[in-house]
């Protein structure tokens, strides 16, 4: 793993070492000591400044050839060597339902580009033309946000419900799926991880790593993927999104499409993409603050609350991350609590397709304590 690699330097960039080396070398050659205000010493210090900058550039340039250090365009050049390109920003998608006021004897056409909006003016438009057939009341049409990025994500059913472009006989418009799939330009960290995993894709998707790689290409919001076979010939893929979010219909379908491509999926595999199984847990803890820290107890209480929130995010940000009260205690202690008593959660090992999500949180301040 990249995180386990030792740090390296291609050139010494320590300003003190470089300046000392230049002055020492001059004094040895000239056989005289340079005082602090000596014009020669000042000149050599100006030369040292140039050499230091060059050393920094040499070290930086060399590191840009390594996956662990490369950034921006340099990282993209490394990616192209294994066929990986940065995922571009995408728009959120949803399914809009157009409903008539009354059944019509003729077909009602819903043109592509018809727009609907949310209460806060986030606009979605239909991606293709659709028809409400004679004798029916509605039709469902795929739509996408008009603004690229994550801004269009997270609108649950019936929140996209206002017409911008009215259509004769059509009374209602509403989204029937939660909008999802919008993403910003892929980050360096995400691209670096996919480049490292790219060799898995060289094989037809059969190994776990290959399915994981292709699932992540469907959306850069996917941060973790569980792949397993519950029965012969069946492959279940369980993706988890950034921040521990559970994927909705749109992203699940995008991953399904990516992993079922004929050039990726083995003929004998039946690929099923499902949301992770949520395992709920409760947090109930009481903490104490050392009496010596009484003057900063309010600040510590705020930091404890933040630590618990951070623990909840950490717990749900990876599949198969066991519910671990020791991690919670460590975080609360690090925030300044002198003692922590945790009633729940208790340790629970998870399966690879499960994610732990806090359901009820109770944080009690037990007061000041004389103990450590």
For residue 257, what is the domain's CATH number? 3.30.300
Query: Given this model, what pLDDT does residue 243 score?
Result: 87
Asked if the model's pLDDT at residue 204 lies above 80, the reply is: no
Same domain, 271 and 287: no
Same domain, 251 and 295: no
The β-bridge relationship of strands 277-290 and 354-369 is parallel
Contacting residues for 1 by C-beta, under 8 A, at least 6 apart = none
pLDDT digits (tens, 9 = 90+) for 100-157: 999 999 999 999 999 999 999 999 999 999 999 999 999 999 999 999 999 999 999 9
Task: Please give the angle made by the CA atoms of 124, 126 and 132, to the nearest 5 degrees.
Answer: 130
Same domain, 143 and 97: yes
pLDDT digits (tens, 9 = 90+) for 56-112: 999 999 999 999 999 999 999 999 999 899 999 999 999 999 999 999 999 999 999
Cα separations in angstroms, 293 against 134, 308, 333, 336, 371: 75, 20, 13, 9, 12
pLDDT digits (tens, 9 = 90+) for 225-271: 999 888 888 999 999 998 899 998 889 999 999 888 877 788 788 89
Confidence of residue 22 (pLDDT cuts 50, 70, 90): very high
Same domain, 262 and 296: no
Segments of 176-276 assigned E as strands? 222-231, 234-241, 270-273
Query: Given this model, what pLDDT does residue 205 score?
Result: 59
Same domain, 289 and 334: yes
How much is the pTM? 0.63
Domain residues for the domain of 42 are: 2-63
As for how many domains the chain has, the answer is: 4
Distance CA 233, CA 218 (A): 23
Same domain, 165 and 222: no
Asked if the model's pLDDT at residue 200 lies above 80, the reply is: no
Same domain, 246 and 167: no
pLDDT digits (tens, 9 = 90+) for 181-195: 898 999 999 999 899
Asked if the model's pLDDT at residue 201 lies above 70, the reply is: no
Q: Which of 126, 159, 175 is the last residue of a domain?
A: 175
Report the SS3 class of residue 63. helix
Same domain, 212 and 255: yes
Query: Given this model, what pLDDT does residue 366 score?
Result: 92
Same domain, 232 and 297: no
Asked if the model's pLDDT at residue 208 lies above 90, the reply is: no
Comparing 23-32, 140-149, 200-209, the range with the smallest average pLDDT is 200-209
């Amino acid at each position: 793993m990249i995180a386990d690699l030792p740090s390296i330097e291609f050139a010494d960039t320590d300003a003190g070492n470089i300046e000392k080396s230049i002055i020492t070398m001059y004094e040895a050659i000239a056989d005289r000591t340079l005082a602090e205000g000596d014009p020669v010493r000042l000149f050599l210090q100006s030369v040292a400044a140039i050499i230091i900058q060059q050393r920094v550039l040499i070290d930086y340039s060399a590191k840009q050839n390594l996956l662990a250090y490369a950034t921006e365009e340099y990282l993209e050049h490394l990616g192209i060597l294994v066929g990986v390109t940065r995922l571009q920003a995408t728009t959120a998608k949803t399914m809009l339902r157009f409903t008539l006021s009354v059944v019509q004897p003729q077909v009602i056409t819903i043109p592509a580009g018809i727009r609907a909006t949310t209460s806060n003016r986030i606009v979605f438009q239909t991606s293709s033309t659709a028809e409400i057939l004679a004798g029916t009341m509605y039709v469902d049409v795929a739509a996408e946000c008009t603004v690229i990025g994550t801004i269009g994500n997270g609108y649950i059913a019936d929140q996209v419900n206002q017409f911008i472009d009215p259509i004769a006989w059509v009374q209602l418009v509403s989204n029937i799926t939660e909008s999802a799939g919008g993403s910003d330009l892929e980050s360096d960290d995400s691209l670096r991880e996919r480049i490292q995993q790219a060799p898995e894709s060289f094989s037809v998707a059969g190994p776990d790593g290959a399915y994981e790689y292709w699932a992540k290409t469907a959306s850069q919001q996917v941060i973790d993927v569980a792949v397993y076979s519950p029965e012969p010939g069946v492959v279940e893929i369980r993706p988890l999104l950034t921040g521990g979010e559970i994927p909705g219909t749109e992203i699940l379908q995008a991953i399904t499409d990516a992993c079922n491509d004929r050039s990726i999926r083995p003929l004998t595999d039946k690929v099923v993409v499902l949301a992770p199984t949520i395992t709920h847990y409760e947090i109930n803890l009481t903490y104490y603050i050392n009496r010596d820290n009484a003057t900063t107890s309010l600040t510590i209480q705020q930091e404890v609350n933040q630590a618990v929130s951070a623990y909840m995010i950490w717990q749900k940000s990876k599949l198969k991350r066991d519910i671990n009260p020791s991690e919670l205690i460590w975080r609360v202690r690090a925030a300044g609590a002198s003692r922590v008593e945790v009633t729940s959660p208790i340790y629970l090992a998870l399966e690879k397709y499960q994610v732990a999500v806090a359901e009820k949180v109770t944080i009690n301040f037990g007061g000041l304590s004389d103990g450590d």
